Amino acid sequence: MDFKKDALELMNFIETATSPFHVVAKSAAHLQENGFVELDMKQPWTLEKGANYYAIPYPSTLFAFSVGENTKDSSNFRIVATHTDHPCLMIKPLADMTSNGYRKINTEIYGGPILNTWLDRPLSIAGRVAIASDSIFEPEMRFIDMRKPVLTIPNLAIHMNREVNKGVELNRQTDMLPIIGLVNDNLNKDGYFMNFLAKELGVEADKILDFELYIYNSEKGQLIGAEEEFISCPRLDNLTSTYGALRAITSGNRNDGINVIALFDNEEVGSKTKQGADSTLMTMLLEKIYEGLGFSHTRCLEAMMRSMHLSVDVAHAIHPNHSEKSDPTTFAKLNEGIVIKINNNQKYATDSQAIAALQQLCDSGNVKYQKYVNRSDIAGGGTLGSLVSSQIPMLTVDLGIPMLAMHSARELMGVKDQTYMNQLLRTFFTA
C-alpha cells in the first residue's frame, strides 16, 4: 500500500474541488477519462451490459454506475453514497457593505462550521452564477472559481479583547464578514461586488441575475508530523469519501451486478432538497437502470432488497487533549483504518448483519477497521445513511475515515486511512 501517494492524490483532488459544483465537474472529468458515458436523467435510457455510465441530475449531485457483463434481473446493486458539500460561508445576494473605509462582504453561514477557524485565513470564492439569456426558463449558468485569496476575516487583537483566550462567542452576522479591500477611487462606487464578479466572468454586471457563491479556505493541503503521519487540509469532510468512491467505481468491476456511486449535495444542511439524499433521486436512478436494461419494475424492487449500501462520511477520532469526549471503550484512532459508525437510535444506519458483512469484506480486502459509538451523553451528528435506507430498504452501513477538527476550516486525518478507504470501496465493488 502506497500511503503517501494516495494522500498526495487526495490533496490534489481537493485543491480544485472548491464548491459542490466544482466537485461534480471534477468528478465528471475523471469519469470521462475512464470511459464512462454521460446520460440524461430526463431522457429514456438504453443500457448495455459491461458498460459504464454517469448522470448529473443537478449540477452539484452526480451518479455513476457500472453494469457487469453477466448482469441479470436477479442481480443486485452495491451502492456507495457520499456528499459534495462542506460547512462554510456563502455570499448574500446584496453583498456590499462598508465600514470605516473597509469594503466588506455580507455572508450567511452554511452548515455547522467551527467559526473561529475561518478567521485570519486566505479565503476565496467559488460557485455558480446565473446570467440573463434569450430563454426565460433557461438562464445561462456559469461556474466560477477565483483561484486566489480575495477575502479574509481579521481577528480582533488581544489588546482590544483581553478575554479572548477565555472563549468568545462569534456573532454570525457581525463577526463573520470578510473584507475584500479598502474604499478608494476604484472601490468607491455602488455595486462593487457585482462589478467585481462581472469582470471575473467577462459579462456586464446588469446581466447577472443571481448566484450561489461559496467562500472557501484557499490554503493547500499538507503532510505534517515528524514522519508525515497526518494530512492537514480543507474540505476533508467529505471529499475523502468522494475521492475514494470515484477511485473505486473506475477500478472495481463485478461481472454480475451493478455498482453505483451517489455524490449528493446538501448533507451539511439536512439533505432535504431535490439534489440531496432525502429525495427520491436514488430510487429514480435504480429504476431507470433496470428499465434501461429491459428488466421489470418488480424485479428492480426485489433487487433493492438483495442489495447493500455504504453511507461513507467522516468519523470522529479520539482527541489527544480531550479523551473524555469519546466513549470510554469504543472509539476511533487515526491511521488505524476505516470506522464503522454505530448508533442504536439510528442516527447511523447500521445493524449487526450489515456490520458483520462489512467486517468480512474488510478481512477479505486486507483493510484495517475499527468501531465507533458516541458517548451516551453526547448526541453527535447524523449522516445520509438513514435517509437513503428509509426510502430504499437495503442493508446499510455508515462508515468513514477518522479525523480531528471536523468542520474546521482545516481538518486533520491520518495519512494511512485514505488508502484503507480506497481499498475497502474497491473490494466492495469487486468481491
The helix (H) or strand (E) run that includes residue 423 is: helix 417-428
Can you give the pLDDT at residue 185? Answer: 67
Using an 8 Å Cβ cutoff, are 360 and 273 in contact?
A: no
Per-residue pLDDT tens for 390-401? 889 999 999 999
CA distance 248 to 264: 17
Query: Which of 91, 92, 96, 87 has the alpha carbon at shortest distance from 115?
Result: 87
C-alpha dihedral, 354 to 275 to 214 to 126, nearest 10°: 100
Give the chain's mean pLDDT: 96
Using an 8 Å Cβ cutoff, are 350 and 313 in contact?
A: no
Per-residue pLDDT tens for 166-194? 988 999 999 999 999 998 766 556 789 99
How is residue 116 written as a grid cell? 473561529
Using an 8 Å Cβ cutoff, are 67 and 270 in contact?
A: no
Beta strands at 315-316 and 402-404: parallel, antiparallel or unpaired: parallel
Across 245-256, average pLDDT: 94
CA distance 53 to 46: 11
Omega within 30 of 0 (cis) for the link into 374 = no
Give the global pTM: 0.96
Give the three-state DSSP class for 14: helix
How is residue 229 written as a grid cell? 503521519
What percentage of the chain has pLDDT greater than the value 70? 99
CA distance 283 to 400: 23
Per-residue pLDDT tens for 59-76? 999 999 999 999 999 999
CA distance 217 to 126: 10
